[in-house]
Amino acid sequence: MARWENIFIAATAVDLPHAVPVSEAVADGSYPSKLAERTEQRTVTIAPKDEPPGAFAARAAKSALAESGYSFEDVGLFVHTSVLDPSPRMSNPAMWLEREIGSGGFRDVAQLTNGCDGVVNGIRWAAAHLTCNLEHQAALITAAESWQPKEVIDRWTVDPDTPFGDGGAALVMSRERGMARLLAAVSYTQPNLEGVHRGPSVFGQGVSLPVNLSKRSRAFYETADLSRDEAWKMRGNGIGVVIERVLADAGVERERVARIVLPFRGRQVLEEEYFPYLGALVPARSSEDRGREIGHLGGADPIAAFHFAMKAGELSTGDLAIVFSEGVGIVQSAVLVEVV
C-alpha cells in the first residue's frame, strides 16, 4: 500500500509547440479523413524538427520550479520519463536535462522508459524519497515527447485512436507545501497483454520501423491464446480495479471524488474504453477538450491533464481527484490527490 499524508504536488507546468490544424494534415494526406472523423481531433502540437523534446521538458521544469517557490538546488530527486527516446545510445537524457535546468550536485537523477505510465512511477519514487531523505525539500519529475521523424514513427497513424502531440510537462513535489496533497498512488500490471504493443518481435531482435501499433496488435492476436474482445475486457476491468485500490488505500469513499482526470485520447477511446468503467466518477472535461487540441503527449499526459484541469477551474480547494494513467505493458495507475 502506497499512502501518504504530508507529501504535496507543489506546482505543475506544460510547454507546448505550435498547434497544427488537423484539416491541414487531412488536406495534405498525412491524416486519413476517416480517422479525423473518428477522433474529432481539432489540432495537434508539432515541434520544429530541429528542437529536441528535452527542450520542452527543460522549459516546463523551470516554470514549475518558479511557480513552486523552490530552486533546483532544493531538488534531491530528478526523474525524467519518455516513450520515444531520441538520445544516442549509451547516453543519459536526464543528465543533459539536469545541465539545462541548473547544475549538478548531490541528488538522485534517473531516466525512466516505462511508457506513458512513467510519471506515476516517478511520483511514487519522489514520495518515498521525500519521506526518507530530509536533506532536500523537493523532487522534480519531467516528461517530454517529439514524435518524429516520420521514418521512425508517424504521429498521425501510429495509433488509429489518437494522433500524437509533441511537448513537455513538469511536476514539483514537496513535503512542505503545495497545491494538492498526495493521498495514495497505485499501479496494476497485466503482463499477459504486453504483446499487444510488442507484436511478434522478441527482445534482442531489433525493431521494425516505422512503429505501427495496429500491425503489432494484429500480429499478436494471430497467435495469442485470447481474443481481442477478451484482451480489451481485461484492460477495461483493470481501470476499475486500480480505481478501487487507490480509494481503498486512502480510505476514501468513491462519492467524495470530484473528478477523474484521464489521458489525452481520442473521443471514441474515451467514450468506449474509459467511460464505461468509471462507475459514477465524473471525467474532467478539460482532458477531452485540451486533448483534442494537443494530441496524446505520451508520458506527459498525466501532468498536463491535471495541470489543465486545475487551470480550467474544474478542481477547487477541498476537492478530491483521481489522475489515471496507462502505459504499454500493460500498466494502469491511479493517483489520488486532495486540492488544498
Q: What is the mean pLDDT of residues 162-185?
A: 96
Q: What is the mean pLDDT of residues 101-117?
A: 88
* Cell (9 digits) for 124: 511514487
Q: Give CA angle at 250 (247, 251), nearest 5°.
A: 80
Q: What percentage of the chain carries pLDDT values higher than 70?
A: 97
Q: What is the mean pLDDT of residues 109-125?
A: 90
Give 1's pLDDT tier (boundaries 50, 70, 90): low
**Strand locations in 175-265 (E):** 180-189, 257-261
pLDDT at 121 (0 to 100): 92
User: CA 177, CA 182: separation in Å to the nearest integer?
Assistant: 11
Q: In this predicted model, what pLDDT tens digit does every residue of 128-142 receive, in sequence order? A: 999 998 899 999 999
HSE value, Cβ hemisphere, 13 Å, CA-based, for 69 = 8
Domains and CATH numbers, the chain: 8-178 (3.40.47.10), 183-339 (3.40.47.10)
Region for 82 from its dihedrals, namely left if φ exceeds 0, alpha if ψ lies in -120 to 50, beta otherwise: beta
pLDDT of 270 over the 80 cut: yes
Cβ burial, residue 1 (10 Å; 0-12/13-18/19+): exposed
Q: Are 245 and 334 in contact (CB under 8 A)?
A: yes
> 169: closest CA among 63, 279, 45?
63
Q: Are 170 and 57 in contact (CB under 8 A)?
A: yes
Q: In this predicted model, what pLDDT tens digit does every residue of 224-264 receive, in sequence order? A: 888 888 888 888 899 999 999 999 999 999 999 999 999 99
Mean pLDDT rounded to a whole number for the chain: 91
pLDDT of 335 over the 70 cut: yes
Q: In this predicted model, what pLDDT tens digit does every residue of 290-324 receive, in sequence order? A: 999 999 999 999 999 999 999 999 999 999 999 99
pLDDT at 202 (0 to 100): 66
Give 198's pLDDT tier (boundaries 50, 70, 90): confident
Residues, the chain, total?
340
pTM confidence score: 0.94
* End-to-end Cα, the chain, rounded Å: 23
Cβ burial, residue 282 (10 Å; 0-12/13-18/19+): exposed
Q: What is the mean pLDDT of residues 49-59?
A: 94
